[in-house]
Amino acid sequence: MPDATASILLLGATGQVGHALRRTLAPLGAAYAPDRAAVDLTDPPSVREAVREHEPELVVNAAAYTDVDGAEEEPERAARINAEAPRVLAEAARAVGAWLVHYSTDYVFGGGKRAPYTEADAPSPISVYGRTKRDGEKAIRAVGGRHVILRTSWMYSRRRSNFVRTMLGLARENDRLAVVDDQIGVPTWAGWCAEATASVCERLLAGDDMPEAGCYHLAGTGQTSWYGLARAIFAQFDRLDVTVEPVSSDEYDTAAPRPAYTVLDSSRARAAFDLPGVPWTAQLARFRKRMRAAGGEHVARG
């Protein structure tokens, strides 16, 4: 294990994964976690200056434009944050010899498969969000340098807008909910993702028996639909009084199309970084326990 003296630049530290990374990266070294006012991802000189000034050994980019529907209305802004900023980060990280760890998404896939996607499958996004995230991946690969792209899926936590927060909020005012049952993926707790990421970063900083640079899928095992996840949420949170009805995607009008199937096969990452396979159901149970230990069932705002 590397000593806890590594210099780390963490972007997106107020987001779901970024907030959890503050804790999980702490044993590896000192993390500089600037806010948006200090480092503006839509401003390339701001990004370059942050890397040049701090000369980190590791750059972790947990920042992204994640509003899937909003990206349809703001494609240029989404592209600046999801595609252009990763290219600038990759260039700056390469210039100082740093590793870049960058997050991507299952939405780079179009959903046409009915078997878990591997890293060998070609991306075929069907939304602006998915296309900008794919373009960010391509930009990092084009720059080269030492990088690891972690694709994850269906993120939730106590922070920001996510499905678990939405369901728990709706359940306070409704005893019957209709939830889509024809979109299949792997729910991911941000806390688990941050723990796994720290294990990846530890290997990168150690420098011995180095896994190859490139793209890895980082999600739990198993799969479910949004309907299945909703039922699991209410079971975990003892809200069995809430009735969940399955409906098709056709019954919801959204600005961005959603892929029908984006289950990620994470076996390559588990083998490369010696990560355990953790079922999505176990992650949800740990999330529930963490919330109880924190002193309540409420979900943090912001």
pLDDT at 302 over 50: no
Average pLDDT over residues 238-259: 94
Average pLDDT over residues 258-265: 98
Which position has the higher pLDDT, 298 or 179? 179
The residues facing 218 across adjacent strands are none
Q: DSSP E strands: which ranges in 169-289?
A: 176-180, 184-185, 188-189, 214-217, 224-225, 243-247
Between CA 122 and CA 44 the distance in angstroms is 29
Band the pLDDT of 297: cuts 50, 70, 90. low
Name residue 37's amino acid.
A
Q: Which residue, among 84, 83, 80, 87, has the nearest Cα to 105 in the 3D structure? A: 83
pLDDT at 296 over 70: no
% of the chain surpassing 90 pLDDT: 87
Q: List, in sequence order, the alpha helices (H) in 65-178.
A: 68-73, 75-79, 85-96, 128-143, 163-171
% of the chain surpassing 70 pLDDT: 95
Can you give the pLDDT at residue 36? 86
pLDDT at 53 over 50: yes
Average pLDDT over residues 77-89: 98
pLDDT at 156 over 80: yes
Quick check: is 129 catalytic? yes
Average pLDDT over residues 1-5: 62
Can you give the pLDDT at residue 3? 56
Are 222 and 279 within 8 A, CB to CB?
A: yes
Tokens of 70: 């909003």
Point out the catalytic residue in the list 103, 107, 129, 216.
129
Are 229 and 183 within 8 A, CB to CB?
A: no
Coarse DSSP helix, strand, coil percentages of the chain, rounded to the nearest 5 percent: 45, 20, 40
Can you give the pLDDT at residue 263? 98
Which position has the higher pLDDT, 77 or 294? 77
User: Tens digit of pLDDT for each residue in 176-203?
Assistant: 999 999 999 999 999 999 999 999 999 9
User: Tens digit of pLDDT for each residue in 201-236?
Assistant: 999 999 867 778 899 999 999 999 999 999 999 999
Are 105 and 67 within 8 A, CB to CB?
A: no
Can you give the pLDDT at residue 5? 81
Between CA 122 and CA 128 the distance in angstroms is 17
DSSP classification of residue 1: -
Average confidence score pLDDT of the chain = 93
Average pLDDT over residues 59-81: 97
Can you give the pLDDT at residue 1? 53
Average pLDDT over residues 97-101: 96
pTM over 0.85: yes
Q: Which residue, among 54, 49, 64, 30, has the nearest Cα to 150 in the 3D structure? A: 64
Can you give the pLDDT at residue 301? 41
Residue 188's φ and ψ, nearest 5 degrees, are: -135, 125
Average pLDDT over residues 232-248: 94
User: Tens digit of pLDDT for each residue in 34-44?
Assistant: 988 899 999 99
Tokens of 102: 């960058």
